[in-house]
Amino acid sequence: MKQIKRVLIVGGGTAGWMAAALLGKLFEGLYEIVLIESEAIGTVGVGEATIPAIKKYNELLGLDENEFVRKTQGSFKLGIDFVDWWRKGERYIHGFGVIGQDLGWLRMHHYWLKARPRGDVADFAAYSINTAAALANKFMRADPKMAESPIGHIAHAFQFDAGLYAKFLRGYAEERGIRRREGKVGSVQLREDGFVDSVTMEDGETIAADLFVDCSGFRGLIIEQAMQTGYETWTQWLPCDRAMAVPCARTEPFTPYTRSTARTAGWQWRIPLQHRTGNGHVYSSAYISDEDAEAMLLANLDGEQLAEPNRLRFVTGKRRQTWNKNCVAIGLASGFLEPLESTSIHLIQSAIIRMVRLLPDTAFDPATIAEYNRQTDFEYERIRDFIILHYKATERDDTEFWRYCRDMEVPATLQRKIDLFAANGRVFREDDELFTEESWIQVFLGQGIVPRGYDPLADIKSDAQVAQYLGNIETVIRKCVGVMPTHAEFIAKTCAA
Ligand SMILES: Cc1cc2nc3c(=O)[nH]c(=O)nc-3n(C[C@H](O)[C@H](O)[C@H](O)COP(=O)(O)OP(=O)(O)OC[C@H]3O[C@@H](n4cnc5c(N)ncnc54)[C@H](O)[C@@H]3O)c2cc1C
Q: Write the pLDDT tens digit of every residue in 178-224.
A: 999 999 999 999 999 999 999 999 999 999 999 999 999 999 999 99
Rounded to the nearest whole angstrom, what is the distance from the C-alpha of residue 153 to the centroid of ligand 1?
32
Instruction: Provide the pLDDT for residue 22.
Output: 97
Cα separation of the two ends of the chain: 49
Rounded to the nearest whole angstrom, what is the distance from the C-alpha of residue 243 to the centroid of ligand 1?
13
pTM of the predicted protein model: 0.97
Range 436-455 average pLDDT: 97
Residues 6+ apart with CB under 8 A from 475: none
Rounded to the nearest whole angstrom, what is the distance from the C-alpha of residue 217 to the centroid of ligand 1?
5
On whether the CB atoms of residues 112 and 103 are closer than 8 A, the answer is: no
How many residues comprise the chain? 497
Cα 40–Cα 41–Cα 44 angle in degrees, nearest 5: 135
- Nearest residue by C-alpha to atom 33 in ligand 1: 11
Instruction: Provide the pLDDT for residue 432.
Output: 86
State which H helix or E strand residue 182 sits in. strand 179-182
Rounded to the nearest whole angstrom, what is the distance from the C-alpha of residue 129 to the centroid of ligand 1?
33
| Ligand 1 contact, 217 CB (< 6 A) | yes
Sheet holding 185-190, edge to edge: 185-190, 196-201, 206-208
| Ligand 1 contact, 220 CB (< 6 A) | no
Strands 277-283, 242-248: parallel, antiparallel or unpaired by DSSP?
A: antiparallel
Residues 6+ apart with CB under 8 A from 149: 143, 476, 480
- Nearest residue by C-alpha to atom 6 in ligand 1: 47
| Ligand 1 contact, 352 CB (< 6 A) | no
Instruction: Provide the pLDDT for residue 47.
Output: 76
| Ligand 1 contact, 57 CB (< 6 A) | no
- Reported confidence tier of residue 45, pLDDT bands at 50, 70, 90: confident
Letter string b/e over residues 169-196, b meaning 16 or more CB atoms within 10 A of that residue's CB: bbebbbebbbebbeeebeebeeeeeebb
Range 473-486 average pLDDT: 97
Query: Which of 18, 22, 38 to mutate for ligand 1's pocket (most ligand atoms within 8 Å of CB)?
Result: 38
Query: Which of 50, 316, 345, 348 to mutate for ligand 1's pocket (most ligand atoms within 8 Å of CB)?
Result: 345
| Ligand 1 contact, 14 CB (< 6 A) | yes
Range 37-50 average pLDDT: 92
Q: Write the pLDDT tens digit of every residue in 247-301.
A: 999 988 999 999 999 999 999 999 999 999 999 999 999 999 999 999 999 999 9
Atom of ligand 1 nearest to the CA of 215: 26
SS3 478: helix
Rounded to the nearest whole angstrom, what is the distance from the C-alpha of residue 66 to the centroid of ligand 1?
25
- Reported confidence tier of residue 46, pLDDT bands at 50, 70, 90: confident
Q: Write the pLDDT tens digit of every residue in 106-165.
A: 999 999 999 999 987 999 999 999 999 999 999 999 999 999 999 999 999 999 998 999
Range 461-487 average pLDDT: 97
- Nearest residue by C-alpha to atom 13 in ligand 1: 47
| Ligand 1 contact, 350 CB (< 6 A) | no
Whether 77 is catalytic: yes
Q: Where are the alpha helices (DSSP H) in 336-462?
A: 344-357, 366-392, 400-407, 412-424, 437-446
On whether the CB atoms of residues 414 and 440 are closer than 8 A, the answer is: no
Atom of ligand 1 nearest to the CA of 186: 41
Q: Write the pLDDT tens digit of every residue in 55-87.
A: 999 999 999 999 999 999 999 999 999 999 999
| Ligand 1 contact, 268 CB (< 6 A) | no
Candidate list 25, 71, 77, 479, residue with the active-site label? 77
State which H helix or E strand residue 70 sits in. helix 65-71
Question: Closest by alpha carbon to 246, among 191, 197, 311, 292?
Answer: 311
Cα 390–Cα 108–Cα 385 angle in degrees, nearest 5: 20
Atom of ligand 1 nearest to the CA of 245: 1
| Ligand 1 contact, 47 CB (< 6 A) | yes
Label residue 217 left, alpha or beta by phi (over 0 means left) and psi (-120 to 50 means alpha).
left
Residues 6+ apart with CB under 8 A from 36: 8, 9, 10, 11, 12, 180, 181, 182, 183, 185, 199, 201, 207
Rounded to the nearest whole angstrom, what is the distance from the C-alpha of residue 19 to the centroid of ligand 1?
13
Tell me, yes or no, if the two domains 6-48+161-232+316-364 and 90-157+242-313+389-497 fold the same way. Answer: yes
What is the Cα–Cα distance from 224 to 317, expressed in whole angstroms?
Answer: 14
Q: Which fold has domain 6-48+161-232+316-364?
A: FAD/NAD(P)-binding domain (3.50.50)
Instruction: Provide the pLDDT for residue 29.
Output: 87
What is the Cα–Cα distance from 271 to 470, expressed in whole angstroms?
Answer: 32
Residues 6+ apart with CB under 8 A from 448: 86, 87, 90, 393, 394, 395
Q: Write the pLDDT tens digit of every residue in 363-420.
A: 999 999 999 999 999 999 999 999 999 999 999 999 999 999 999 999 999 999 999 9
Rounded to the nearest whole angstrom, what is the distance from the C-alpha of residue 16 to the centroid of ligand 1?
9
Domain segments of the chain as ranges: 6-48+161-232+316-364, 90-157+242-313+389-497
| Ligand 1 contact, 51 CB (< 6 A) | no
- Nearest residue by C-alpha to atom 17 in ligand 1: 47
Amino acid at 252: E
Rounded to the nearest whole angstrom, what is the distance from the C-alpha of residue 112 to the centroid of ligand 1?
42
Range 88-110 average pLDDT: 96
On whether the CB atoms of residues 221 and 185 are closer than 8 A, the answer is: yes
What is the Cα–Cα distance from 334 to 315, expressed in whole angstroms?
Answer: 12
Domain 90-157+242-313+389-497 has CATH 3.50.50.60: yes
Range 346-363 average pLDDT: 97
Atom of ligand 1 nearest to the CA of 15: 25
Q: In terms of C-beta density within 10 A (0-12 exposed, 13-18 middle, 19 or more buried), how is residue 408 classed? A: middle
Rounded to the nearest whole angstrom, what is the distance from the C-alpha of residue 333 to the centroid of ligand 1?
8
What is the Cα–Cα distance from 227 to 212, expressed in whole angstroms?
Answer: 12
Query: Which of 46, 169, 282, 316 to mutate for ligand 1's pocket (most ligand atoms within 8 Å of CB)?
Result: 46
Instruction: Provide the pLDDT for residue 53.
Output: 95
Query: Which of 9, 17, 36, 41 to mutate for ligand 1's pocket (most ligand atoms within 8 Å of CB)?
Result: 41
| Ligand 1 contact, 50 CB (< 6 A) | yes
Alpha carbon distances (Å) from 271 to 39, 286, 486: 26, 26, 17
